[in-house]
Structure formats: C-alpha cells, structure tokens
Amino acid sequence: MNIVVCIKQIQEYNNVDMHMGDKEKQSINPVDIFALEEALRIKDTIESKVTVVSMGIESVENTIRECIALGADEGVLFTDNAFAGADTLATAYLLSRGIAEIGKQDLIICGTHSIDGDTAQVGPALAEKLGISHTTHVTQIVNIGESNIICKRTVEDGYEIIELKLPALITVVKGINSPRICTIKGVLKSTRSEIRKYSSRDLDVNINLCGLKGSPTKVKGVYTVTHENKGKIIEGNSINEKLDYLVQCLF
C-alpha cells in the first residue's frame, strides 16, 4: 500500500502571555504524530510504503527526518518562497500537485486540524483537489480491503461507520492511537535519508494558485482583545466567608 502522511510544522505561541511575535519552538503539529502512527500501524500489518510530505520552509526537513526516525520510509518537502503565505485552498492545491508528482497513492492520512491555523479545512480540500473519497475525525480504522477502507468516525452525538473506496483521504483525531517512540535504528536511518525537496520549478503547478497570491482569503487586520473588568472578586477574611457569600448569591 502506498500511504502518504501530511504533516505541518507549527510554532507554539505562549498564549497566556499574549505578546505578539513571541516565537516558541518549532514543532510538528501534535495531531500529525497520531496520523503518522496510524500509517505506521498499517505498515506493521500490510506491506506498505509510508511517505511523509509537508509544505514549508527549509528547516521543516528536520521535522520530516524525525518522522523517518519513527518509521516512515521517505520524506518529501515542498519548499519555495512562492508557496509562502498560503491559505487553506492554496495549501490544498500545492499539496495535491506535489502528491501527484510523487506517484499514485492508496491512502492519505492527515490530522484533523493544526493548532495554529485551526480550520480543519486542508484535509477535505486536498481530497477534493485529488478527486478522491474522504472522511474526517476518524477514531479507528476498522478494516482495509483491496479496494476500500472502513472507518469509525466520531460525530457530535455518537459515531458513524463509513466505507470509502480507495484511494481515500482520512483525517484522524488526536488519541486515535498511542504513538511509538523512535528506535536507534530509526534515528540512524533518518540521518542517512535524503529528504527530497521540490520547488515550484519541479512541480506542475500554476504559480498564481500558490502561496499568498493563490489565497482567496486575506487577513485585513488583527487586534488584541481586551476585556472590560466587569467581574467581581469576592472579598472576605477567609475562604469560608467568601464561600458563604457565594452560596447566598447563587441559591
């Protein structure tokens, strides 16, 4: 089985601090680790090739290497200034062209959403661009057959069992599995692996549909939120006193 796992490198912001531009470390989008693990579990049981792909800056190569250390067979990075500033549509477009370039895939696994963009849109949009079946919020792969895959998918008030024709794209939730840790063999392999890099010249893409240029949505402006202080901190000499007051107010 040819499996592609899409990953994203994100920056975690110190959200309590609320200073803009505070860069914390670069790391893999948390739920993508579960996506990778799900691919590796399939590889444990069915002969498969797992390719990790990402669209990002040059340093994302390191994050892809970490995925190879965990057990992925290959890594591919789509990197070019022209890809920068992409919204979800431009990202889905680029990924679709990139994946088409690396060859026919049976299954594409993504995380439900990234913790920075938070839209949960790239997975479905990518499936549309590739013209393949898909579903989101998968909590379990029930069965993989010759030509289809059966998934359990969580919804607000329960779950669904969905059968998809292959090739398919699924987005998986955090907690779908317990990710493995890398082995020494894996780390050694990752240091020796060549991460293929594709720029806009290497792919069959329309530059005008990539990056900021290809993004229909634009950020007009940002502002910080301030709350007026409309709350009341209960005063008192002891917790006991404060709670007595609270219970009185409430009941």
Classified as helix, coil or strand, 61 is helix
Pairing relationship of beta strands 74-78 and 49-55 according to DSSP bridges: parallel
Q: Do 28 and 130 contact (CB within 8 A), yes or no?
A: no
Interface of this chain with another protein, residues 142 to 161, rule: CB under 8 A: 150, 154-161
Tell whether residue 119 is a contact of another protein (CB under 8 A).
yes
Q: Do 147 and 163 contact (CB within 8 A), yes or no?
A: no
Tell whether residue 218 is a contact of another protein (CB under 8 A).
yes
Tell whether residue 137 is a contact of another protein (CB under 8 A).
yes
Tell whether residue 121 is a contact of another protein (CB under 8 A).
yes
Tell whether residue 23 is a contact of another protein (CB under 8 A).
no
Q: Nearest distance from residue 239's CB to another protein, in Å?
A: 5
Sequence-distant (6+) residues with CB within 8 A of 6 are 32, 35, 53, 54, 95, 108, 109, 110, 111, 122, 123, 126
Binding-site member from 1, 84, 85, 129 for another protein (CB under 8 A): 129
Q: Nearest distance from residue 196's CB to another protein, in Å?
A: 25
Tell whether residue 138 is a contact of another protein (CB under 8 A).
no
CB 114: neighbour CB atoms within 10 A?
A: 21
- Closer by beta carbon to another protein, 58 or else 118: 118
Tokens of 223: 């502002």
Interface of this chain with another protein, residues 68 to 87, rule: CB under 8 A: 87
Sequence-distant (6+) residues with CB within 8 A of 92 are 121, 122, 125, 126, 128, 129
- Give the DSSP H or E segment for 87: none
Classified as helix, coil or strand, 109 is strand
Tell whether residue 184 is a contact of another protein (CB under 8 A).
no
4 phi/psi in degrees, rounded to 5: -115, 135
- Closer by beta carbon to another protein, 184 or else 239: 239
Residues touching another protein, count (CB under 8 A) = 79
Tell whether residue 230 is a contact of another protein (CB under 8 A).
yes
Contact segment (CB under 8 A) with another protein among 51-59, 101-109, 112-120, 193-201 equals 112-120
Distance separating alpha carbons of residues 186 and 181, to the nearest angstrom: 10
Tell whether residue 164 is a contact of another protein (CB under 8 A).
yes
Binding-site member from 26, 27, 30, 203 for another protein (CB under 8 A): 30
Contact segment (CB under 8 A) with another protein among 44-52, 102-110, 191-199, 212-220 equals 212-220
